[in-house]
């Protein structure tokens, strides 16, 4: 059984996003756009493009196209940073807020459905286990990077 855990953990984010993608399609949102909007909303206005990209888990250059699309839809604005004119800070517009509330409601409903049949205690236990597995993975990743750095001549 332990050999299938990795596959299940890897499959869940794809399944989760697929369900939400299907439910957000009537709003005209692609996965890239709703994920970007949702992360910015959760992080708060004024994030730099690099901070947002890092939080989402994408490269900053690949985020630029999505931000341009969101800007042309009137959902975000980009402003130059005061201390670095090359860097841009991103802000949600007033038009984005009702859309984000819809995204949040749809995501919350999907979360409830996905976790149906689990008690609050079981959900907390799952959260604890996932945090533990993530911490182990981050430690392994750091060790591997350290080992690679020390083996470079």
Q: pLDDT of 36-81, one tens digit each?
A: 999 999 999 999 988 999 999 899 888 999 999 999 999 999 998 8
Q: Hey, what are 64's tokens?
A: 């630029």
For the cut 80, the answer to whether the pLDDT of residue 85 exceeds it is: no
Residue 25: CB atoms within 10 A of its CB come to 12
Question: Which residue, among 128, 104, 34, 26, has the nearest Cα to 112 in the 3D structure?
Answer: 104
41 contacts: CB under 8 Å, gap ≥ 6: 92, 96, 100, 104
Tell me the pLDDT tens digit for each residue of 110-151: 999 999 999 999 999 999 999 999 999 999 999 999 888 887
Tell me the pLDDT tens digit for each residue of 19-39: 999 999 998 888 899 999 999
The architecture of the domain spanning 30-103 is Orthogonal Bundle (1.10)
H/E run at residue 126: helix 120-151
- What gap in Å lies between CA 23 and CA 26, rounded to an integer? 7
H/E run at residue 121: helix 120-151
Residue 116 to residues 16, 21, 104, 120, 138: CA-CA distances in angstroms? 14, 20, 18, 10, 29
- Looking at residue 118, what DSSP letter applies? -
> 72-81 contacts: CB < 8 A, separation 24 or more?
75/37, 75/99, 76/37, 76/40, 78/49, 81/48
Domain ranges in the chain are 30-103, 119-153
For the entire predicted model, the pTM comes to 0.74
Whole-number average pLDDT of the chain: 91
Q: How sure is the predictor about 2, in pLDDT bands with cuts at 50, 70 and 90? A: low
């Amino acid at each position: 059984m332990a050999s299938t855990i990795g596959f299940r953990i890897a499959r869940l984010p794809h399944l989760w996003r697929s369900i939400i993608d299907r439910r957000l399609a009537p709003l005209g949102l692609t996965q890239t756009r709703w994920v970007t909007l949702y992360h910015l909303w959760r992080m708060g206005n004024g994030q730099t493009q690099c901070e947002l990209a890092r939080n989402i888990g994408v490269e900053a250059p690949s985020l630029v196209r999505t931000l341009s699309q969101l800007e042309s839809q009137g959902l975000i604005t980009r402003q130059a940073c005061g201390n670095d004119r090359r860097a841009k800070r991103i802000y949600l517009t007033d038009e984005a807020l009702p859309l984000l509330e819809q995204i949040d409601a749809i995501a919350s409903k999907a979360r409830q459905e996905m976790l149906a049949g689990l008690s609050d205690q079981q959900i907390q236990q799952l959260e604890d286990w996932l945090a533990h597995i993530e911490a182990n993975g981050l430690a392994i990743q750091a060790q591997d990077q350290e080992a690679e750095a020390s083996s470079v001549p």
